[in-house]
Structure 1
Amino acid sequence: MHETDVVIVGAGPSGLSLAVALSQLQIKSVVLEKQHDICEDPRAIALAGDASRILSVIGITAEEMDQIAQPLSDLNFHGSTFTSAPFLQLEQGPDWSEQVLPSSSVILQPGLEQLLRNRAQASKYIKLKLNCEVVGLAETPSNVEITYEEKDTSGSYVVRGKYAVGADGKRGFVRKQFLEEKGIKQETGRYNYEATWVAANLKVTMPTPSTHPHFPLWELGYEPDELWDLFWPGGFHFCNHPTMPVATGRFGPTAGKYWRFEYELPPDFELPGDAVGHLKEQMEPHLTISPSGLRGQGHWLNTPVQFPWDCVEVLRCGPAHFAQKVVNRWFDQRVILIGDAAHVFPPFGAQGIASGIRDALGLSWRLSLLVGGTETLLHKGTASLNKDWLLLTWSSERRQGVDDAAKLTAANGSLLQAKSPVLRWAVWCANAMVSWMPRLRLTLLRGHFSDRDGVRGAKDGFFLGDQGGGTKTAQIFIRGARDGSVELSDHVFRNSNAALTLLVLHNPETEQEWAAIQRASKRLHLPSNFLAETVVTLNDKALSSVQQQPESTKIESSHFLTPATAGAVSRAGHKPLPLYDPSAFRKRFHASAKYALVRSDFIIFSQAQTLEQLECQIGQAWRMVTNS
């Protein structure tokens, strides 16, 4: 029997993200995946919110993301076809969430899974077992045993772990065959929506004068490369329709020319046997442009022009059931659910993969405490970890996160399904009016897309809400100590492998003040996987003067976080997003706060004005996770 720390069932984005996050914390896992090969049919196609931020912190680089994805330029809401003028357009390019990385991307899911598999297979802490189907699960007070069949050998095996995580989808074994008999099931969430859609993945090639000599746009001077933007415009598009609303747009790497087209079927509608033929019928109006929408070069056309259907390869076309559901409980003793096993969404808000990897990041540091040897360091046996409470805080925070994601999905869905021309006109008028007030529009868009509230709304989260906790830190570029290089601020807090890091929000003036900070952080002699041994100090004075480290950098046990201006970022070879603000990191904390405890998943645990208050907060944090 093989033994490990955590057994993960399912090697999709959620399960692999958890395995990789655990490996960073030196926690061993076995990942059991039913299939051998990655499914090449892209299902989810988008990431939203802090998803790219999480992938970055677990090791997926921006260069690797460019190979499988492209940033989403805007969201477009149309009264008719996706080639018509939108009645509402919401830009996605600016750094609305103050996280440096794109807040929305359209991806090729098989590519993302391959990147995560590569990370897993390269780690000594992860054993990825493919072609392994789980057939049994049993719990004891101290571990979980999972029985699986290996298709390659036709043998049956058992792996034992301290915890098991079901990341095997909405129909997976862990919930359907084990936890449902314990009363755990998916129920309708905050967005009460359920419908059947047709989902199609397309790969488009451009016609040329040689392949399509009679295509009328050659007469107007169009080049083949121009037809992509003309007939298949950038961004993502939501199109109103009296009976069959449409969600559609580009996905995957820019050069791939992949396109997703989804449309809702009316209730009790029976899809014809020729699904591709029905898809073509629905798409033809979108791929037809009237003469008024074309430029002329001494020529004009009297009839609409349709993009040639023989340049469209249908990779997948079939019905899909869309609903927003979430489990009534996220775990039972030592068995936990994440990803689609725990929650599902309609695709209007790109919250599927994003929510799954949020589950993984928040769970990873808790599992590190639960299985990473913390108990052997607990005050010589006078305290023990409060296991159920740690998982309850995670599930409470994740339920809040799922509800927030559902509200965003519902907002997009409401505009998509708006049947009233009057409502569309009212939205258009409101958007036009706000456009004349750029500061107001900026404020509204930042408020709509920002997720700075973090988990503050969670009822029983791991933070001190009455002491500035629960909100999310911004991410900025920070400067290297001497060489002028830049890195991302999130990595500083993650690299400690600890649940909490002490952040000093001012430069200590004297050695005595620094010594007092060190005493406050070490007085309780807490485990290093709970409170990081290295303190992080914000050196934001550099934003208004020459960017140099303060004198107190000679103190070796501190990492100085020096914000990098947009100019410094550009000189280092990076391209900051529009609205990048190096002061955003400090602005997420109270102006009077001098110290903060920051979790490794970007959440602020607490903020303090004095060292005495800080010491008290450290003690509270420890008492929250233990029975002391």
Structure 2
Amino acid sequence: MTETETTDPTGRPRDDILHDVVLIGYGPVGQTLAALLGQAGHKIAVFERWPRLYGRARAGHVDHEIMRIFQSLGIAERVGRDMFRATKYVFRNAGGETLLTFDWDADGISGWPSDYIMYQPSIEDALDAAVRAQPTVSVHQGWEATALTRHEDHVEVTLRESTGSRTGKGVLGARTRTVRGRYLVGADGANSFVRTRLGTTQTDFGFRETWFVCDLEPKVALDFGFDNGQVCDPARPHCLFQLGTRHRRFEFALLPGEDPERFGDPRTAWKLLAPYGVTPDKADLVRHAVYTFQARLADRWRRDRILLTGDAAHVMPPFMGQGMCSGIRDAKALAWRLDLVLRDLAGDALLDSYQVERAPHVETLIQMSVEAGRVSCTFDPEIAAARDEAFRRGEVPPPPPFPHLLDGLLDTEAGGRAAEVVGRLAPQGRVRTGGRTGRFDDVVGHGWTLLLAPGTGCDLTTGQAALLDRLGARVVAIGEDPADVDGYYADYFARTGVSMILYRPDFYVFGAAETSGAMGRVVDALGRAIGGPARIVAAP
């Protein structure tokens, strides 16, 4: 849709348009949600207060799960061209001694390398192209939400024209418009207007540190012998890492009592970069800014037809690189739920499972990020020395495993080996079918998928098969067609001890079975969990 389709010839909004979703915010999370909902054919109106994309980096890391989500939007190869595959992220002390290492050199279960360092503008450009390719999505930049009204069957949003750039303060103009949507989603960042109107409180995890971020575009090759990690120096904690293929980033903690205003001077940046031999003749300083890192989680993500996602729902320190990743997971998890509700295949109550699942997952990542930040953000030399000695003696436990889903729309009745894979990501390996070889999602497709191990029959009733059909689910038996090119699926099923998995459009396993005879119970459990009209519930 173009903007003229939602306005009359004078530029005033057309009140007869009822969008499926009005989306406030057009950063990477809003872009992802808009693209996913547009891909499903829903009528989406996106509003962003700034007239154009930000164009500068904030986040710098994505993992294999996010790459699979990008793959589902058809942009993975494009964004991959400006990414750097990360292998290690290291925490060192002032003397160069390694305290903690995150190993990122494995291949993730999602079919992509586990971790990448990226340049965010490349991601936003690719997502923007994916959004604008959807004919049912309209994007309206330069409009700031100023009021909203809840109705029984829709939400009404009033917006005012906004001018200015991302680097300057926006100015509200005289023109206003009012739009309506069956649902409203706030993807409008840490200072979310929608969250304020939702009236939710936030849990504060007690972390607040101010850092100075410097992004560089090198003119010559730069090699520091230590390219990705934290320098836990109490004299000034800092970090450095590659930012995609063409940029570098340094971040420096502000010391207690330092005035953030003086860091607006580029000379301060060059002074801090000098010990690494970085000078204006070797690199351009493309961005420098002061940020205060916080850790907060909204206590309520939904009120009737209004929902929150991304930074509007949670913020975390950057030390695990999971802030933007968590928001994109939100978008994927919310998109398929809204899709089912909007298509009348599930009841409105399905949306309640969104926070039930996502909030505990995010809370664990916030806590992990805070603990990693506390390793780095130590300014007292004596405390830092004690910290270093604790690491030397092995008295510091290793980081906890990456979280999976524990509750929500999952087969909670699963037992035995099947219970061990529920709530975890489904595998993606290479397969061959119809003369084509590639990643499963590219060759076979993505969405609801019932995946059978080699030699497993499909033991479903007519009603159970009808339920999967209404959801658009694929039933795929790994064998000769599609063929398991690398033995990846055979290894997965042998290792997990299950013979089938049923996974969701966000690639999380809803349920699993050790035998084909238990497969029908899993499908029945899905029908009960989704709820909605009687016609979608599997027949006995």
What is the letter of the counterpart of residue 273 of structure 1?
R
* Match status 1:486 vs 2:411: no
Q: Mark the CA change 1:8 to 1:155 in structure 2 (over 3 Å): closer, same or farther.
A: same
* Match status 1:249 vs 2:202: no
Q: Indicate which of 185, 194, 204 corresponds to 2:218.
A: 204
What corresponds to 1:210 in structure 2? none
Counterparts of 2:272 and 2:489, CA distance in 1: 47
Percent identity over the alignment is: 24
* Match status 1:401 vs 2:308: no
What is the letter of the counterpart of residue 204 of structure 2?
T
Q: Deviations over 1:94-125 (max 9, x none)?
A: 22x32331322222111211111101111112
Q: Indicate which of 270, 281, 284 corresponds to 1:280.
A: 270
Q: Indicate which of 585, 599, 620 corresponds to 2:525.
A: 620
Structure 1-normalised TM-score?
0.73
What is the letter of the counterpart of residue 104 of structure 1?
D
Q: Indicate which of 417, 422, 427 corresponds to 1:475.
A: 427
Q: Deviations over 1:521-544 (max 9, x none)?
A: 32xx43745362x311123xxxxx
How far 1:583 sits from its partner (Å)?
Answer: 4.3
What is the letter of the counterpart of residue 334 of structure 1?
R
* Match status 1:20 vs 2:12: no
* Match status 1:424 vs 2:388: yes
* Match status 1:193 vs 2:98: no
Counterparts of 1:420 and 1:403, CA distance in 2: 27
What is the letter of the counterpart of residue 277 of structure 1?
R
Structure 2, unpaired ranges of 5+ = 1-14, 164-172, 535-540
Q: Mark the CA change 1:606 to 1:16 in structure 2 (over 3 Å): closer, same or farther.
A: same
What corresponds to 1:333 in structure 2? 304
Contact 1:478 1:561 in 2 (8 A): no
Equivalenced residue count is 499
Matched position secondary structure for 2:176: strand
* Match status 1:172 vs 2:195: no
Contact 1:369 1:529 in 2 (8 A): no
What corresponds to 2:178 in structure 1? 158
Counterparts of 2:126 and 2:400, CA distance in 1: 27
Counterparts of 1:163 and 1:261, CA distance in 2: 40
Contact 2:239 2:251 in 1 (8 A): yes
How far 1:369 sits from its partner (Å)?
Answer: 0.9
Counterparts of 1:242 and 1:399, CA distance in 2: 33
How far 1:127 sits from its partner (Å)?
Answer: 1.2
How far 1:251 sits from its partner (Å)?
Answer: 0.4
What corresponds to 1:101 in structure 2? 112
Q: Deviations over 1:75-101 (max 9, x none)?
A: 1222127xx564544442222x32331
How far 1:261 sits from its partner (Å)?
Answer: 1.6
Counterparts of 1:127 and 1:266, CA distance in 2: 45
Counterparts of 2:367 and 2:175, CA distance in 1: 46
What corresponds to 1:291 in structure 2? none
Instruction: Looking at secondary structure, tell me which structure has more strand per residue.
Output: 2
Q: Deviations over 1:453-495 (max 9, x none)?
A: 6202x3x44332534353323433322224252223487462x
How far 1:243 sits from its partner (Å)?
Answer: 4.6
How far 1:46 sits from its partner (Å)?
Answer: 1.8
Counterparts of 1:491 and 1:353, CA distance in 2: 28
How far 1:130 sits from its partner (Å)?
Answer: 1.7
Contact 2:452 2:501 in 1 (8 A): yes
Q: Indicate which of 29, 38, 55 corresponds to 2:53.
A: 38
How far 1:142 sits from its partner (Å)?
Answer: 1.1
Bigger Cα Rg: 1
Counterparts of 1:89 and 1:527, CA distance in 2: 43
Q: Mark the CA change 1:623 to 1:350 in structure 2 (over 3 Å): closer, same or farther.
A: same
Which has the higher mean CA deviation after the structures are superposed, 24-33 or 8-17? 24-33
Contact 1:47 1:105 in 2 (8 A): yes
Contact 1:33 1:130 in 2 (8 A): yes
What corresponds to 1:57 in structure 2? 72
Counterparts of 2:261 and 2:503, CA distance in 1: 55
Counterparts of 2:20 and 2:490, CA distance in 1: 40
What corresponds to 1:111 in structure 2? 122
Matched position secondary structure for 1:284: helix
What corresponds to 1:387 in structure 2? 348
Counterparts of 1:319 and 1:251, CA distance in 2: 18
Matched position secondary structure for 2:23: strand
What is the letter of the counterpart of residue 19 of structure 1?
A
Matched position secondary structure for 1:76: strand
* Match status 1:369 vs 2:381: no
How far 1:606 sits from its partner (Å)?
Answer: 1.4
Counterparts of 2:369 and 2:442, CA distance in 1: 27
* Match status 1:564 vs 2:485: yes
Contact 1:27 1:372 in 2 (8 A): no
Counterparts of 2:226 and 2:68, CA distance in 1: 23
How far 1:348 sits from its partner (Å)?
Answer: 0.5
Kindly report the root-mean-square deviation, in angstroms, between the aligned alpha carbons of the 2 structures: 3.0
Q: Mark the CA change 1:315 to 1:484 in structure 2 (over 3 Å): closer, same or farther.
A: closer
Counterparts of 2:371 and 2:485, CA distance in 1: 35
Counterparts of 1:370 and 1:145, CA distance in 2: 19
Contact 1:272 1:278 in 2 (8 A): no
Q: Deviations over 1:2-23 (max 9, x none)?
A: 2221111111100110111112
Q: Mark the CA change 1:491 to 1:149 in structure 2 (over 3 Å): closer, same or farther.
A: farther
Matched position secondary structure for 1:36: coil
Counterparts of 2:41 and 2:144, CA distance in 1: 26
